[in-house]
């Protein structure tokens, strides 16, 4: 009995830019997709945080096969006071 794989896509948004990957990736479960997303996010955050502007937001979403968001990780830079 084989397991069913689900197709997921990454989408990154920063300011006015938003782009989704054309190439999907298959994962055995939502948990496996989440683990991959957090790993990819972790690899990107150093470079992103160094170039993030004040009062800006960056986020990465994982979309399902219908291109609906399943997960989102947000990095928000706020100037206070």
Count: domains in the chain: 1
Taking the model in full, what pTM does it have? 0.82
Question: In terms of residue numbers, what domain contains 26?
Answer: 6-76
pLDDT at 16: 77
Q: Which residues pair with 17 in a beta bridge?
A: 14
Alpha helices in the chain (DSSP H): 30-51
12 within domain boundaries: yes
Is residue 25 assigned to a domain?
Answer: yes
Q: Judge whether 15 lies within some domain.
A: yes
Neighbours of 14 (CB within 10 A): 17
User: For the chain, which ranges sit under pLDDT 50?
Assistant: none
In a domain, 1, yes or no: no
* Domain assignment of residue 46, yes or no: yes
Name beta bridge partners: 62: 10, 71
- In this prediction, residue 11 carries a pLDDT of 94
């Amino acid at each position: 009995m084989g397991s069913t794989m689900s197709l997921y896509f990454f989408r990154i948004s920063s300011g006015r830019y938003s782009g989704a990957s054309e190439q999907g990736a298959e994962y055995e479960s939502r948990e496996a997709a989440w683990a991959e997303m957090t790993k990819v996010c972790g690899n990107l955050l150093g470079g992103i945080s160094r170039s993030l502007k004040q009062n800006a937001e960056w986020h990465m979403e994982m979309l399902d096969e219908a291109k609906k968001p399943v997960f989102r990780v947000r990095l928000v830079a706020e100037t206070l006071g």
